[in-house]
Copies of this chain bind each other. A is one copy, B any other.
Amino acid sequence: MHTTMFSILSEPNRLDIVEVLYKSPRTVNEIAGLLKLNQPQTSKHLRVLADAGIVEATPIKNQRMYMLKPDKFEELDRWLEKFRYMWDERLKRLERLLKEKKEVKKNGRK
C-alpha cells in the first residue's frame, strides 16, 4: 500500500530529512543540526522512516549513519508510471497516430 509512504512523507520534517539524506548519508545529530530539530524528534522521525523501509542505519563508532533505501522510491515510481500517460507527449503522439490510422480505415471503407 502506498498510503504509508505518502503519510510518512507528508510530515514536513520527515520530507526534509529525506531531502537531506538524498544528498548524502548523515548521523542523527548532523540531521538535527541541519534542520534545526531537537535530537529526540529527529530520532523519532528516523524511526518512523526506518520502520517503513525508507531509510536504514549503519552503526559507525558511537553513532548511526542514516541513508536512503531505494526500494520504496522505486515502488512509488512504478505506481506513478500509471499516470504518466496523462502528460507524456510521446504517448500523446502515439494516440494521435492511432487515431489517424482509424480515420484512414474509415475512409477506406467508404
Contacts and interface: CB of A to CB of B under 8 A. Distances in A.
Copies of this chain present: 2
A7 B5 CA distance: 10
Interface residues of A, number: 24
Contact of A9 (B2, B68, B86): B2
A76 B82 CA distance: 13
A37 to B, nearest CB: 16
A86 B76 CA distance: 13
Interface stretch (A10-18, A26-34, A43-51, A102-110): A10-18
Contacts of A9: 2-3, 6
B73 A77 contact: no
A82 to B, nearest CB: 6
